[in-house]
Amino acid sequence: MSTFAHRQPGELYESQKLAIWYFVVAIALFGAQIIFGLLLAYQYIDPNFLYQKLSFMTNRTVHLNAMIVWLLVGMMGGVYWFLPIETGREVVGIKLAKFIWWVIVGGVGVVVLVYLLVQIGPGTAFTLWFINEGREYIEAPRWADFAIVAWVAVFLFNVVATTLAARRITGLLGVLIFDLVALGALYTAGMHYTVNVTMDQYLWWWVVHLWVEATWEVLVGVVMGWSLMYLLGTPRKLIETWLFLEVALVFGTGILGLGHHYFWIGTPEYWIGLGGFFSALEPLPLVAMVVHAVYDAGAHRLHTINKPAMMWAVTQAFGNFIGAGVWGFMQTLPQVNMYSHGTQLAAAHGHFAFFGAYVGTVLTLVYIAVQNIGKRVQIPLGSKLWPWAWGLLVFGIIGIVASFTISGFAQTMIERAELGSTWNAYIKSYTHPWYTNTHWWRFWMGMLFFLGYVLLVWDLLTIGRRRTANAAEGAHD
């Protein structure tokens, strides 16, 4: 069914073996993100919980940074999985790729330990280089920043050298190489230091918006293209046509759409018009991705060789559109953003968008890899457990997003629109039942989400094994 060939069942390229380690670490960090998220959710209910032992700010830092790292690791693992299949050869520089991978794993461990053990300290150059950079979402110390850039550089070398050695360039590989250059370059925007807060925020948003949203979205387009070719046998021409359109729309609308982050940080007023207009266009590439997924599903009647991977691919398409597109558009226009900026509506958008766009992508890739590990080449791959894991994770994230949306709406209406951002308005909104009651809702939905994660891990460890064992017994009889 696939348009590109695998080796014999269970026979993997060295880069695919490396990809499995990427997926193992990604799933482990996914668990860490959920656990620290649950701690945060409970500290909203009881602020004294773990007071002076594991502070809210530390839990939030680990929760957010674990999310960024595990999603990036998972998507890079997907490239290492599909690259030898796409080029028909082993990845060039695989030893270097393995070396930098274990350096990064060790570095992530050191950074997390420092976050947990050094929670308070002076804002000095030593802190910036070795403890915590202090910027929200990208708190990693400066030495870790250089390690990340080196990691992406080696990754880019692997892809380019393998493509040249194979003497075969496809549309997917061309887009991937172009995107990896931007992936490495845009991260360095967050490494500039300036005492001008407006300029600092201006460049910081390049990392948050362009690095995470634009370059990651294109990377998602590439690995999801390979995934659809594997799962549905979708023609390459169709995949690459939609991918080129997506790239044009993501960069065409995304770069100037970044302006919606410039509304209230002291940048010139023209950003309100530019940011408002192009932000409104940003959901268009996401709509194209949904059309793409629906078209493929209809054309092939969802006949797939891997049921859980296919379900996560569909979840990715619709979750990306609703979470990143609809929930993002609700608050990007300046007339709305003036009231909603900084409320928990932003958290609702962030949770929904990252789950839809990236969690669905990585879990699609992980299930594809699982199908080809060892003797578990079960076709079609399926189990009784994976629908429960999928259902609990999806239901849990919808509940979490709903609670954030309701509390953010209460903040927007009471604290901003009705009472005008006074101290009294702040107290009234934070003590309003719509705000306080949603804390419990968020916590219990988080527990359901965690249960879904436990079932997911158990399913990944066992799916396909029972049928393989039964088949082996039948053959023996």
| Tens digits of residue pLDDT in 369-401 | 998 887 656 678 888 999 999 999 999 999 999
Percent of the chain whose pLDDT exceeds 90: 49
pLDDT of residue 475: 45
Q: Residue 3 pLDDT > 60, yes or no?
A: no
Q: Model confidence at 133, in pLDDT bands (50, 70, 90)?
A: confident
Q: How far apart are alpha carbons 168 and 162 in whole angstroms?
A: 9
Q: What mean pLDDT is predicted for residues 4-23?
A: 81
Backbone angles phi, psi at 306, to 5 degrees: -150, 100
Q: Supply the pLDDT for residue 295.
A: 66
User: Which is more confident, 325 or 365?
Assistant: 365
Q: Does 476 have pLDDT greater than 50?
A: no
How many Cα neighbours within 13 Å face the side chain of 450?
16
> How far, in Å, CA of 224 to CA of 293, rounded?
10
Output the average pLDDT for the chain: 87
Which pLDDT tens digit goes with each residue over 246-292? 788 777 777 787 888 888 888 888 888 887 777 777 666 656 666 66
- Residues near 79 by beta carbon (within 8 Å), at least 6 away in sequence: 155, 159, 176, 219, 222, 223
Mean pLDDT (whole number) for 201-223: 85
Instruction: Tell me which residue of 369, 292, 356 sits closest to 319, measured CA to CA.
Output: 356
pLDDT digits (tens, 9 = 90+) for 287-312: 666 666 666 656 556 677 899 999 99
pLDDT tier for residue 22 given thresholds of 50, 70 and 90: very high
What average pLDDT does this structure show over 357-365?
95
Considering only residues 60 and 260, tell me which one the structure prediction assigns the higher pLDDT.
60
What pLDDT sits at residue 198?
84
In this predicted structure, what is the pLDDT of residue 296?
A: 61
- Euclidean distance between CA atoms 265 and 258, whole angstroms: 13
CA dist 184 and 188 (Å) reads 7
For 386, phi and psi rounded to 5 degrees? -60, -35
In this prediction, residue 203 carries a pLDDT of: 85
Would you say residue 4 has pLDDT above 80? no
At 378 the pLDDT is 65
In DSSP terms, which residues pair with 306 in a beta bridge?
A: 381
Mean pLDDT over 328-341 rounds to 86
pLDDT at 1: 43
Q: Inform me whether the pLDDT recorded for 142 exceeds 70.
A: yes
Residue 240 confidence (pLDDT): 87
Rounded Cα distance, 18 and 198, in Å? 42
Mean pLDDT of 83-101: 95
Residue where the block lists tokens 């250059």 = 181
Residue 397: what residue type?
I
pLDDT over 90 at 111, yes or no: yes
| DSSP single-letter state for residue 381 | B
Q: Partners of 381 in the beta sheet?
A: 306
Which one is predicted more confidently, 9 or 369? 369
**Predicted structure pTM score:** 0.90
Asked if the model's pLDDT at residue 426 lies above 80, the reply is yes
Give me the pLDDT at residue 68, please: 93
Q: Which of 54-58, 120-124, 344-348 has the lowest mean pLDDT?
A: 120-124
Query: Which stretches of 260-385 are DSSP H helices?
Result: 270-281, 283-300, 307-319, 327-329, 334-340, 344-354, 360-371
439-476 b/e (C-beta count within 10 Å ≥ 16 → b): bebbbebbbbbbebbebbeebbeebbeeeeeeeeeeee
d(CA 239, CA 233): 10
**If DSSP codes are grouped into helix, strand and coil, which group holds residue 289?**
helix
Q: What average pLDDT does the segment 348-373 reach?
A: 93
Residue 77 has pLDDT above 90, yes or no: yes
CB 235 within 8 A of CB 168: no
Phi-psi region of 266 (alpha: psi -120 to 50; beta: other; left: phi over 0): left
What pLDDT does residue 377 have?
A: 62
| pLDDT tens for each residue of 32-49 | 999 999 999 999 999 999
Better-scored residue on pLDDT, 190 or 439: 439
